[in-house]
């Protein structure tokens, strides 16, 4: 309809211009004016967004459900309960429960918040519109607020067109538009946009023809304006966490559904090795494994492809860096130091070590996390520091000097030492870090690290021979598996 009116107006204007031209009128100024008008119209249309099909529109079709999301059981359960309120609005209204207007999903990126919102839209048979908080922030005052109005209008129109009773508006990175008012000094635009969102949400009623549910996603709940979290707006907050081992396995299985897996694939092992990975990382692991298999012209994906995919997602792409022979030997000694100490402190934990450059690392040793741990003891943290320091200590023992290769190891060791102090596990006992003199803080970190360095020296000095031998093998072969390393250590034990 809008298009037809536009065309009629344009046609009539042109006819008038042609008529004036024929009766001898100077139409040049009119043409310039018309051109400017068109340009202005185009700019405003473009800036105000949602007039066309710029937003993603997901038809609440049957092809996406909560079953397609791995893990996240508590989040799904909480979300489902909230959605059931929306689904059985009559029942809840009878009980005097006010309608649900907004749900906030909070958690790290890549954990499936968008997927949950899509599944939610499908569950309550609604159309799905998604936008990102940053799309509403413009330099032009009022444009963000106008976009919010259009987004809600568009949600209603699309739901009616698709003959759905509801619409889910998903706003990703809602903290960008919904951060505390007053934090953006001198920027009224943010406030106008947020105010408009609040107005739209307050205007949602249970007897509206189209029921709109707003789902926001953020990783920074603490940044949000308290007005957004007030009852009647986003009053359901659902936490979407990084997946635990069981959930990682489910996610991997979901993403391997359409992939030809070889007999030797052990997804449970991969799930165990990928502690800290989000769903998006795991999707990437499955995808990269398939790409690696294809590169080798293999018709099936093997466990080694998955192993390498984990390395790639964790550390980055393999690099073509070719250090000289001497440097490469130093890298081999360094990684062997990490691996020997890692294996001795936690037998069976080393997955593999290599001198292939990947991402920012010239070589690396990967340890399999014990189990998903959420609390760490002092013993655990000290052993972690020992593994970090082992590379530099090995260099010192075998080559007589250290190198800059240990810089990031030291940074990590200092980070763990800080954790020890913060948790009250250092010789200082429980402290208030805010008033702890910097000098004392620094000396305590140094003390913790020095002590662990001595422990590592005590482990590696008597094993200099095996250290050298394994480093040499690593230099020749580029890669040593955990099982091979264990065999070398065993052999060294029986010889002595």
Q: Rule CB under 6 A: which residues touch ligand ADP?
A: 69-72, 109-115, 217, 251, 254, 279-280, 283
Of the candidates 352, 333, 347, the one whose C-alpha atom is nearest the C-alpha of residue 460 is: 333
Measure the CA–CA gap between 9 and 261, rounded to whole angstroms. Answer: 61
Nearest distance from residue 275's CB to ligand ADP, in Å?
Answer: 16
- Which CB sits closer to ligand ADP, 114 or 126? 114
Of the candidates 180, 193, 256, the one whose C-alpha atom is nearest the C-alpha of residue 225 is: 180
Nearest distance from residue 244's CB to ligand ADP, in Å?
Answer: 11
Nearest distance from residue 223's CB to ligand ADP, in Å?
Answer: 16
Q: Which class for 495: exposed (0-12), middle (13-18), buried (19 or more C-beta within 10 A)?
A: exposed
DSSP assignment letter at 69: S
Sign of dihedral through CA atoms 108, 109, 111, 117?
positive
DSSP assignment letter at 347: T
- Which CB sits closer to ligand ADP, 110 or 359? 110
- Which CB sits closer to ligand ADP, 107 or 337? 107
Q: Sheet containing 102-106: which strands, arranged edge to edge?
A: 56-58, 126-132, 166-172, 211-218, 102-106, 234-239
Residue facing ligand ADP at closest CB distance: 279
Based on the residue annotation, tell me whether 335 is a catalytic residue of this protein: yes
Nearest distance from residue 217's CB to ligand ADP, in Å?
Answer: 6
Measure the CA–CA gap between 70 and 75, rounded to whole angstroms. Answer: 11
- Which CB sits closer to ligand ADP, 60 or 391? 60
Q: Sheet containing 364-367: which strands, arranged edge to edge?
A: 364-367, 350-354, 479-481
DSSP assignment letter at 227: T
- Which CB sits closer to ligand ADP, 196 or 274? 274
In 3-state terms, what secondary structure has residue 145?
helix
Nearest distance from residue 106's CB to ligand ADP, in Å?
Answer: 10
What is the four-CA torsion angle of 31, 36, 42, 47, rounded to 10 degrees? Answer: -170
In 3-state terms, what secondary structure has residue 91?
helix
Of the candidates 399, 412, 389, the one whose C-alpha atom is nearest the C-alpha of residue 464 is: 399
Nearest distance from residue 233's CB to ligand ADP, in Å?
Answer: 21
- Which CB sits closer to ligand ADP, 113 or 338? 113
The active-site residue, picked from 335, 382, 395, 455, is 335
Q: How many CB atoms lie within 10 A of CB 393?
A: 27
Residues annotated catalytic, as ranges: 335
């Amino acid at each position: 309809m809008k298009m037809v009116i536009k065309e009629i107006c344009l046609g009539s204007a042109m006819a008038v211009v042609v008529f004036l031209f024929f009766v001898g009128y100077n139409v040049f100024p009119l043409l310039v004016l018309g051109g400017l008008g068109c340009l202005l119209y185009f700019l405003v249309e473009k800036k105000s967004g949602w007039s066309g099909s710029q937003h993603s529109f997901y038809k609440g079709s049957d092809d996406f459900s909560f079953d397609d999301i791995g893990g996240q059981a508590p989040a799904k359960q909480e979300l489902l309960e909230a959605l059931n309120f929306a689904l059985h609005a009559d029942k809840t209204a009878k009980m005097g429960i006010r309608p649900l207007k907004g749900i906030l999903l909070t958690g790290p990126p890549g954990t499936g918040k968008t997927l949950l919102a899509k599944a939610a839209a499908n569950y309550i048979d609604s159309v799905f519109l998604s936008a990102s908080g940053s799309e509403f922030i413009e330099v032009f005052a009022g444009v963000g607020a106008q976009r919010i109005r259009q987004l809600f209008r568009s949600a209603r129109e699309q739901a009616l067109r698709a003959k759905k009773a509801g619409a889910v508006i998903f706003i990703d990175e809602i903290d960008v538009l919904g951060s505390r008012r007053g934090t953006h000094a001198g920027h009224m635009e943010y406030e106008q946009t947020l105010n408009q969102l609040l107005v739209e949400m307050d205007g949602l009623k249970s007897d509206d023809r189209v029921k709109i549910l707003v789902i926001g996603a953020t990783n920074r709940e603490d940044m949000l304006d308290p007005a957004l979290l007030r009852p009647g707006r986003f009053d359901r907050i659902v936490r979407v966490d990084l997946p635990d081992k069981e959930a990682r396995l489910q996610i991997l299985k979901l993403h391997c559904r359409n992939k030809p897996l070889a007999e030797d694939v052990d997804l449970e092992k991969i799930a165990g090795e990928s502690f800290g990975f989000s769903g998006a990382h795991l999707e990437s692991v499955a995808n990269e494994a398939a790409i690696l298999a294809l590169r080798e012209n293999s018709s099936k994906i093997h466990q080694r492809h998955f192993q390498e995919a984990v390395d790639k997602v964790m550390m980055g792409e393999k690099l073509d860096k070719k250090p000289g022979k001497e440097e490469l030997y130093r890298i081999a000694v360094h990684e062997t130091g990490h691996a020997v100490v890692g294996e001795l402190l936690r037998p069976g934990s080393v997955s593999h070590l290599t001198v292939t450059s990947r991402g920012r690392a010239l070589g690396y040793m990967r340890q399999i996390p014990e189990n998903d741990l959420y609390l760490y003891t002092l013993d655990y943290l000290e052993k972690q520091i020992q593994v970090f320091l082992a590379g530099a200590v090995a260099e010192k023992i075998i080559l007589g000097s250290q190198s800059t290769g240990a810089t990031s190891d030291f940074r990590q060791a200092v980070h763990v030492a800080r954790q020890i102090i913060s948790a009250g596990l250092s010789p200082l006992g429980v402290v208030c870090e805010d008033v702890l003199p910097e000098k004392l803080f620094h000396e305590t970190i140094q003390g913790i690290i020095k002590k662990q360095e001595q422990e590592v020296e005590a482990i590696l000095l008597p094993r200099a021979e095996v250290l050298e031998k394994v480093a040499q093998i690593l230099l020749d072969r580029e890669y040593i598996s955990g099982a091979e390393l264990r065999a070398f250590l065993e052999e060294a034990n029986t010889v002595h």
